[in-house]
Amino acid sequence: VSGPFTVPALHAAYAAGLSPEAVIDEALRRLDAADDDGIFLHVESRAALMAAVASLGPFDPAAKPLWGIPFAVKDNIDVGDRTTTAACPAYAYRAERDAFCVAALRAAGAILIGKTNLDQFATGLVGVRTPFPAPRNAVDPALAPGGSSSGSAVAVSRGIVAFALGTDTAGSGRVPAAYNNIVGLKPTLGAISSTGVVPACRSLDTVSVLALTVDDAYRAYRVAARPDPADAYSRNFATSPLSGPPPAFRIGIPDAASREFFGDADQERSFLDALRLVETLGGDLVEIDFAPFYETAQMLYEGPWVAERFVVLEEMLATQPEAVHPVTRAIIEKGRDMSAADLFRGIYRLKALERITASATASLDALCVPTVPTFYTVADIAADPVGTNARLGTYTNFVNLLDMCGIAVPTGPRADGRPGSITLLARADRDAAIAALAREIHALSAPTLGATGAPLPQAAALPFGPAEDEIELAVVG
Amino acid sequence: VSGPFTVPALHAAYAAGLSPEAVIDEALRRLDAADDDGIFLHVESRAALMAAVASLGPFDPAAKPLWGIPFAVKDNIDVGDRTTTAACPAYAYRAERDAFCVAALRAAGAILIGKTNLDQFATGLVGVRTPFPAPRNAVDPALAPGGSSSGSAVAVSRGIVAFALGTDTAGSGRVPAAYNNIVGLKPTLGAISSTGVVPACRSLDTVSVLALTVDDAYRAYRVAARPDPADAYSRNFATSPLSGPPPAFRIGIPDAASREFFGDADQERSFLDALRLVETLGGDLVEIDFAPFYETAQMLYEGPWVAERFVVLEEMLATQPEAVHPVTRAIIEKGRDMSAADLFRGIYRLKALERITASATASLDALCVPTVPTFYTVADIAADPVGTNARLGTYTNFVNLLDMCGIAVPTGPRADGRPGSITLLARADRDAAIAALAREIHALSAPTLGATGAPLPQAAALPFGPAEDEIELAVVG
């Protein structure tokens, strides 16, 4: 087990006789080699891991599509009989049971390695807003790890786990993916249940999946995405298997006037190069004005949706405000003074922006944006914790407010060696379509996997159209 | 033109040579005979009416399905070059153009007679919260007219117009229908554009239609219901023509423990009699617990949605609070102190209640409830303006919060002679289905029309299933 942990590689090895115990030991060895106490807030004991492996039963990837696959869980997601901290020790509680999605993944054979660090309460895109040591960026330790799913992204990028759960309200699953050269799949809101997940902005939260490849991210997503009657925000989407991309498609991109890189010419070049790949795949690029998307984005941290974060912390801010990270506290406390009238005005404006953006994108198959506009170092963020964070959300903050799905995919190194990444976005329930496209872009860019240095393995070509286990439905009404 | 104004009767008379001028004069004569200054806040001049008639062109009911049909508009809906007051003189403004729906009705040949009185800002179900003289109930002057679409309901009940537009947020289109023995069609939210309508609770408002018969209400609804790109809350529903009811259907009713008549045995008896009619038509009655519906209802006036009304009046309450009706002011001012956090908590609870009620009604074609639990006199309301109003909304307040459509239909006199009325409710976009059922219930009850004393005309039987001008769509995906 020397190569990166991907599901196809591990399952091929298991089929050839490798023991999952050996994979677990290798995962622990890689964790040790990473020499970074900031990645995990809790690691399962070797005894617990071996017990989990022992309960797997014989290798059966049909019945258990994640059989023997090591994974990690962001520490705002419950694991039964473990502490959930949301990176706030004062908030910590012992979870009675697995979150709905964790239970589904474990039932499918995935082996939980541990719980990962995050921007406290999943509020932040930087990865350093934690009272614990922040994880180091896996690609370049000078860079911020990206957040809020910082530990999950670093654990995947370093090859410690094959995939990890994050969450994503404002970009928490996509920004750290870009910063660590991995795939970040942000499902349509409600596709994965939030039962057992600490809310950030409850109406806008989703669990997300971080992985080295699109195939692995999508495989874990399909296992985790199932309707949950106990979560009022859960929706019932039929997740189809991945297919190939359509022969031709229309992709919206920000027009020149509304593209924003904050002076980072390498990032602009990287994005333009990625667009050439999209064209190579048959994509017709359509420039659109992103001003309405940016206006939407601003409502998340500068408008009444901040009050949604305040709902979660109201009691703690009243009783022990010093327990909350000072940057996080300063942001969330603004939610206290927002009135219901402010929120209704925000809801009306959002409704209008939904209409405007839906109209602008009606003829498009997807949007393509840079995942991040630029890179910030840990030092940059220390110098301006709020401004850097706000700029990082340029291409991510609006997505959940507009009920879109997204997937961030590496596109190879920029001129300066930092990882390139674009994000495909589409309307609700188009997760499979953008994953199919992201898979092709990834293959064509062929970057190394995360920080492992290993090449992207060649994946099987998939035909366009419904896959074998799909049933065509005829609806006559 | 001696009988009630219904579309079939007027169109038959027009086809036989009657002039629309004669109908307009008869409408003005009936208004004069009503001797009630509280019905209309503005009546078109005879010269303006005759000019409108002159511009109709030759009688052509196919091109203009409302050719020569007199109608009225609640005075929170704009008519071009006329004043909109919302029953608040200090709020009054001259409208530049017709509301989107009024323009559609006039383009279809309807003749606007005038603008009707209402509970100020459409806040109330009683019809007496107006600084103008309140309209008298058309059936019994001791009774409240019902509101907030009080003038529209009375104008229809007295036969002055064939139909009238109301609005309906909490029951404003259904309660006055029940109080005046007429039909009140409350469309699915967004089916009729709100462009040019003074908001009450903008996210929960709809224009509604009051008429003597289901056929007439539904005809006007079909003309008015069309998508409006300028209204972010507008939705695109394909309104189908009325068909007959299905041979068998399942109707949910409040179980005995959750039925509420506030001691009014006549109303209970009237409701039970109406349920027998539903069974006669093939309806299978299913008792359900209405507690979650009532919990939903309470959020409208006792929860954070009050702040939505405050948004509309914030400026006026700051600058000239005395211009607002004192009862209305006391209610709406509570919205000032509601926080965005309160509203988010309300939104979460509503989301849970949506789930609970959807699950309880999933196997049902519709719900059937009393439109009102009881009757209040003008004196009752003067003695307890808030309590009576709250009780009147028992079976109406929850409907728009749960995104249901509804239609109130007379079921004949109660033991004491007061008008019986039931309301059918269904999930969004089932307007045609419940109208089809309401039409049969109305025919079987055969009450007199409004306060006209005239019998319900026999309407043609309609076959169950898609009507002639519908195209069956085959969707294969």
Task: Determine, for residues A345 and B307 on separate chains, whether the beta-carbon distance falls below 8 Å.
Answer: no
Question: Exposure string (b/e) for A351-388, b if CB count within 10 Å is 16 or more?
Answer: ebbbbbbeebbeebbbbbbbbbbbbbebebbeeebeeb
* pLDDT, averaged across chain A: 95
What is the reported pLDDT for A423?
98
What is the reported pLDDT for A466?
58
Q: Hey, which residues 308-327 in chain A have their CB within 8 Å of chain B?
A: 308, 310-311, 314
Task: Report chain A residues whose CB lies below 8 A from the CB of B340.
Answer: 304, 307-308, 310, 335, 338-340, 342-343
Spatial contact of B129 and B328, defined as CB atoms under 8 Å apart: yes
What is the reported pLDDT for B466?
58
Q: Is A345 on the interface with B (CB under 8 A)?
A: yes
Return the amino acid letter for B370: P
Of all residues in chain A, the one with the smallest CA distance to B465 is A477
Bridge partners (DSSP) of residue B370 are B422
Task: Report chain A residues whose CB lies below 8 A from the CB of B477.
Answer: 472-473, 475
Tokens of A442: 């990834």
What is the reported pLDDT for B467?
52
What is the reported pLDDT for B475?
35
What is the reported pLDDT for B302?
84
A to B CB pairs, distance under 8 Å: 101
Q: Write the burial class of residue B413 (CB in 10 Å: 0-12 exposed, 13-18 middle, 19+ buried).
A: middle
Bridge partners (DSSP) of residue A42 are A115
What is the reported pLDDT for B357?
97
Task: Determine, for residues A304 and B340 on separate chains, whether the beta-carbon distance falls below 8 Å.
Answer: yes
pTM for this entry: 0.94
Q: Is A342 on the interface with B (CB under 8 A)?
A: yes
Q: Residue A472 above 60 pLDDT?
A: no
Q: Is B358 on the interface with A (CB under 8 A)?
A: no
Q: Residue A387 above 90 pLDDT?
A: yes
Bridge partners (DSSP) of residue A339 are B339
Task: Report chain A residues whose CB lies below 8 A from the CB of B315.
Answer: none
Spatial contact of B153 and B176, defined as CB atoms under 8 Å apart: yes
Spatial contact of B66 and B20, defined as CB atoms under 8 Å apart: no
Task: Determine, for residues B229 and A355 on separate chains, whether the beta-carbon distance falls below 8 Å.
Answer: yes
What is the reported pLDDT for A463?
83
Of all residues in chain A, the one with the smallest CA distance to B232 is A352
| Mean pLDDT on A58-75 | 98
Task: Determine, for residues A477 and B472 on separate chains, whether the beta-carbon distance falls below 8 Å.
Answer: yes
Q: What would the pLDDT profile of A21-35 be if each residue is shown by its tens digit?
A: 999 999 999 999 999
Least CB-CB distance to A314: which of B314, B341, B347?
B341
Q: Hey, which residues 167-206 in chain B have their CB within 8 Å of chain A?
A: 202-203
Q: Is B477 on the interface with A (CB under 8 A)?
A: yes
What is the reported pLDDT for B25?
97
Angle at which helix B100-107 crosses helix B214-224, to 10 degrees, equals: 110
Least CB-CB distance to B343: which of A340, A354, A476?
A340
Nearest partner of B161 among B182, B141, B145, judged by Cα: B182
Q: Residue A477 above 80 pLDDT?
A: no
Out of A64, A115, A148, A208, pick the active-site residue: A148
Q: What would the pLDDT profile of B4-23 be if each residue is shown by its tens digit?
A: 999 999 999 999 999 999 99
Q: What would the pLDDT profile of A107-152 be if each residue is shown by its tens digit?
A: 999 999 999 999 999 999 999 999 999 999 999 999 999 999 999 9
Supply φ then ψ for residue B380, to 5 degrees: -55, -40
Q: Is A41 on the interface with B (CB under 8 A)?
A: no
Integer Cα distance of B117 and B76 in angstroms: 9
Question: Exposure string (b/e) for B354-374, b if CB count within 10 Å is 16 or more?
Answer: bbbbeebbeebbbbbbbbbbb
Out of A149, A152, A157, A172, pick the active-site residue: A172
Write out the catalytic residue numbers of B. Answer: 74, 148, 172
| Distance between start and end Cα atoms, chain A | 54
Of all residues in chain B, the one with the smallest CA distance to A345 is B311
Spatial contact of B309 and B123, defined as CB atoms under 8 Å apart: yes
ipTM given for this complex: 0.93
Question: Exposure string (b/e) for A31-50, b if CB count within 10 Å is 16 or more?
Answer: beebebebbbbbbbeeeebb
Integer Cα distance of B460 and B456 in angstroms: 12
Q: Residue A476 above 90 pLDDT?
A: no
Least CB-CB distance to A311: which of B338, B341, B351?
B341
Least CB-CB distance to A339: which of B233, B340, B475?
B340
Integer Cα distance of A193 and A221 in angstroms: 11
- Three-class secondary structure of residue A283 per DSSP: strand
Integer Cα distance of B194 and B230 in angstroms: 9
Regions of chain B with pLDDT less than 70:
466-477
- The alpha carbon of A12 is separated from its chain's Cα centroid by a whole number of angstroms, namely 26
What is the reported pLDDT for B473?
39
Q: Is A302 on the interface with B (CB under 8 A)?
A: no
What is the reported pLDDT for A467?
52
Q: Hey, which residues 368-387 in chain A have their CB within 8 Å of chain B?
A: none
| Mean pLDDT on A307-312 | 95
What is the reported pLDDT for B476?
34
Best probe of the B interface among A336, A344, A351, by most B CBs < 10 A, is A344
Best probe of the B interface among A195, A308, A317, A339, by most B CBs < 10 A, is A339
